[in-house]
Structure 1
């Protein structure tokens, strides 16, 4: 909290636009300054927020905590002990425990449901919720602050941000990455962004290097023919929820996401299926659906990326070549960092 309040909101936009100037392209700096200028005066208190944040008590049984998250259709929630937040319990952190049990010979991989793999894990069965939430800190900002303060937290990789009242003692709401992106993208005039990009000839190819990098390369890919459990293991070991699923030619046909973890826990789809069939089944997609992912090219623009992410509500867009082979990825976290 103290770190977030070091500088006033009035200085945030100036900080974004000028302090990082240095050798940056003036055109890209100008684009960033426009995006930030549309956000600096937007107070969190002006937003229509859900006023019933989900908070888990540290004494809650981990199995029950997982059920609470699934019932409320959320991936993560803060954990509190004696009115103090001790961390964040996130379903993304649980997948490795389920996979450990999945490989046990004593487990019926066909009949057992995903939740059974997870809840019989010694890590879930014997550790406290406080222990399991220790990997992630819960950061908060006051509702009187600018949305830029929330972006600053999300730019560091947080998945959720707490919103408090003015004295910082009461948690009023919780904002997720996706919610914040939808809020800020509606603040921008797309025609204005397009004009800036057109006048200065700014394409994604200009945004692949620091200090204004929003495209990450190379990407982590997996074959659509590998087993689903192998894909989940790759997600866990790589600490990435989004992997590009490619066919024999290397063209992207699907992608994994954090939501797939939640869907797997809610269903009983077998991890011995190929990752392609697993994703189709768990998402109730059709094999005829050609491109259940969103993509663009390096010759496209940031405005196109923003428009696609806003329309699909996806958290990432894949950069592909002319043969639809993924060469990079732009996630909403990358856009938060660009603004920060």
Structure 2
């Protein structure tokens, strides 16, 4: 059933993904503040980068910007006790360009599919290369080369799965434990640490989100690269990086970080279908598996969900119908 659900829809039909007429782009010569403002102003997590011939050379997202921020701070010895010395050097970002930041995180390579490809093909490319989004391209009729006409994101795919959850099949009603999900180390940070340290952890571990724990090691929140989009203001853009993680979350989300959102956690006996439904409703990219003491013992990302779906398809579709790897 999952095979039919994903192979019978093309990437052009997927909703919640930007189409060519709505496609926001930046130039390879645009500065990091310009890219940052483009992402924030348009409420998007990633943007294609075009060269002088208007051809795509890659993608930039908040994870790449996190890596850029961390690199500049560390390479210029700006990691002081306050943010004022850092703000005095914000000019550094004005001389750092989109062409440099493109896939700086090494998690955002430009690996496209062609217009008309099935969603199953896009998911296969996404999971094989461990990427968060897949550009859709077509050759320009005027001979100007390939152009981006769509951008398939993990969130759009998850939303589609959530709306068609019953078509995944009865296997999705199994618990995540029965489906083979196991306990694993969770990258986390204490809520009293500085927000900047949280983003350093993301950059060093090449992830786009980590758990936030209280003094007892209980998970109370999640902080991700996309939270950077809430930092934008007219002056002192990076001031919030020097807040504690707890203060940062409270400020950017306008809620008490101690008010635990139950949607960010699950248990081993929860079904995959239930987790997908909750993630779609809460618009989140990962949930943390917790034990009886509410301590994180694992994490499930959209990548993990797409991987288990492909595994189920490959195990149940006759060899002649298997998608190409």
Cα offset for 1:79? 1.3
Per-residue CA deviations over 1:135-158 (Å, capped at 9, x if unaligned) read 443222233121112212321222
Structure 1 gaps, min length 5: 1-33
2:195·2:245 contact (CA, 8 Å) conserved in 1?
yes
1:92·1:261 contact (CA, 8 Å) conserved in 2?
no
Change in Cα spacing, 1:274 to 1:83, as seen in structure 2 (3 Å) is: closer
Q: Give distance in 2, aligned partners of 1:248 and 1:175.
A: 39
| 1:157 pairs with one of 130, 154, 158 | 130
Counting matched residue pairs gives 292
Change in Cα spacing, 1:196 to 1:128, as seen in structure 2 (3 Å) is: closer
Cα offset for 1:255? 1.0
Per-residue CA deviations over 1:44-77 (Å, capped at 9, x if unaligned) read 2333453321222223333322222222122221
1:253·1:292 contact (CA, 8 Å) conserved in 2?
no
Matched, 1:189 2:159: no
2:263·2:278 contact (CA, 8 Å) conserved in 1?
no
Per-residue CA deviations over 1:110-133 (Å, capped at 9, x if unaligned) read 5976xx76x433xx4444422321
Cα offset for 1:205? 1.4
Query: What does 1:58-77 correspond to in 2, within 5 Å?
Result: 58-77=28-47
- What TM-score does the superposition give when structure 1 sets the normalisation length? 0.75
In the alignment, what sits opposite 1:217?
A: 184
In the alignment, what sits opposite 2:119?
A: 147
Q: Give distance in 2, aligned partners of 1:236 and 1:71.
A: 24
| 2:280 pairs with one of 287, 307, 310 | 310
Q: Give distance in 1, aligned partners of 2:61 and 2:11.
A: 24
Q: Give distance in 1, aligned partners of 2:257 and 2:56.
A: 44
* Secondary structure at 1:203 match in 2: coil
Aligned Cα root-mean-square deviation (Å):
2.9
Change in Cα spacing, 1:334 to 1:98, as seen in structure 2 (3 Å) is: same
Query: What does 1:41-120 correspond to in 2, within 5 Å?
Result: 41-48=8-15, 49-51=17-19, 52-81=22-51, 82-99=53-70, 100-101=72-73, 104=78, 109=83, 119-120=90-91
Per-residue CA deviations over 1:21-61 (Å, capped at 9, x if unaligned) read xxxxxxxxxxxxx3233211112233345332122222333
Q: Give distance in 1, aligned partners of 2:308 and 2:45.
A: 25
Q: Give distance in 2, aligned partners of 1:278 and 1:55.
A: 29
- What TM-score does the superposition give when structure 2 sets the normalisation length? 0.78
Change in Cα spacing, 1:203 to 1:126, as seen in structure 2 (3 Å) is: same
| 1:206 pairs with one of 178, 189, 193 | 178
Change in Cα spacing, 1:234 to 1:293, as seen in structure 2 (3 Å) is: farther
